[in-house]
A and B are shown apart, each in its own frame.
Chain A
């Protein structure tokens, strides 16, 4: 069920401001791809075009195309709501619905998609998703308690459970560990390793160690220059990016000789 993602000549705008220009890449199914690069170069922006979250910002729009297994997600007949149901997303700051219980948080997406579902079926999904997110043991006795009452790391895993409960084909993660302690970070990295058996995963991270640990492929983004739009400098095997990148700028960035 995991799908291949292709970006074709993406130009991404906030109103008139061109934030990222001419991005092209292909991401294989069942793989983990890391987006790295300095702050403000457009990693989040590119990530959010993959599930059409970019356009929820007023004035934001996209030129070019993103293909999911060869099918355009920007076609005129495509409903962005369907795209987002196929491509899950986890944000930098954990964002469970504050007024909902843990249980309701997990099934929130499911209820949107399929309306009435049998209780037993929901129960199954909740357990499966929470197990999938490595959270089941910690919360199984308090599923009725508010999701906002969990620790930050638990909340983030709850958000992952919520995202995988609808069995998406792709999972996008925007710095999912940046607000977490090392132990929660490790838990989520392990989780990513097990999730890639089923999903295509793209993760934005500022932590190169993390990129090296979890991803097979790494994409390096950078600004084309001061006041110029961001661009994709190169995308390659993680091994190669960190040892012997083709571009001097990549080498400079990862060896800390940046700027």
Chain B
């Protein structure tokens, strides 16, 4: 190495060093200004987290230096009480509903002459109470899960179309139309379902029965159009908007870096979606599906209008091509006869099971959402 060369190298190094110091200034400053406790942002929805916030020491090293220790800002206080109050109100409300259901249901269940969970009987007008929920549970779960299974793939497809494929001019109207489905009252779905839609299903039902009839689920049982099959499809349309909306939201938020990682590997559009968008959105879509399921479980008027109740004493059938009653439709059908408390109690007991079921499904959806948060 010549003299000239080594001097040049020296110089380059010195300059580069200076540059490096400059470069490292920015992040340090930034860190210095950042809120040391990270409590600068109070999530507005965290009424339940209020105790934790209250416990957190407000002792960032900087605070004492301003000589303002212990000073409580009135706005903070009011806000905290308001949020805590709102949170508590909801909890109290739920507890009251649960207590009400239990108090009304327990005497009737105690007088039930058959097993509440396993009996198919529903005899509540006479002097002896005989009621069990197994048929209701089956029809409720079957119609709702069927609806969810139909709705989820369609919702994923629509959400992918809107967020990934459609040109902007098309994405907006499509999203709008899907949202509009949520604005249709459920009574309209019910009337449409039973008068227009369900009678058109004969062809499909016969077809499925012919080829899949050996599976009990697809065995044709009645020729009345008011089947679980028809009800489930209408339910699927009803829960489509919420699942689509959630899927759309999570797909839209796929981090750019994940998307670019896929592009840079030479992924095609679909491969990019498969590598980045779908895995990222999966927990969100699962929770959206569960919220939809929760809604389908409790849907009342549409399903009451569509489903035809089998005559009492008819044998059990697991088939989709059969009528039935869900918890909600059973209660709605009997609403006119809530005149004696033990009889009413039987229906309330059914309502209680529905409450627990829906609660469990929604809680599961929440857990999935929260688990996601840990990852990101």
Contact = CB atoms under 8 A, between A and B. Distances in A.
Contacts of B20: 207-209
B8 A244 contact: yes
Interface in B338-354: none
A210 B20 CA distance: 9
Contact of A53 (B15, B18, B264, B375): B264
Interface string B247-263: 00000000001111111
A243 B1 CA distance: 14
A176 B144 CA distance: 50
A211 B258 contact: no
Contact of A208 (B19, B258, B267, B275): B19
A89 interface: yes
Interface in A105-136: 108-109, 112-113
Contacts, number: 106
Interface stretch (A7-15, A22-30, A94-102, A220-228): A94-102
Contact of A254 (B15, B261, B279): B15
Main secondary structure of the interface of B (DSSP, over half): helix
A255 interface: yes
Contact of A95 (B5, B260, B266, B271): B260
B122 to A, nearest CB: 47
Interface residues of B, number: 33
Contact of A242 (B12, B258, B271, B276): B12
Interface of A: 51, 53, 56, 81-86, 88-89, 91, 93, 95-100, 108-109, 112-113, 148, 159, 162-163, 166, 206-212, 239, 242-244, 254-256
Interface of B: 5, 8-9, 11-13, 15-20, 22-23, 257-268, 271, 275-276, 279-280, 282, 375
Given A95-B257, A256-B19, 18 more contacts: A53-B264, A56-B260, A81-B268, A84-B263, A84-B267, A89-B264, A91-B257, A96-B261, A98-B258, A100-B279, A112-B266, A159-B261, A211-B16, A212-B12, A212-B16, A242-B8, A242-B11, A242-B15
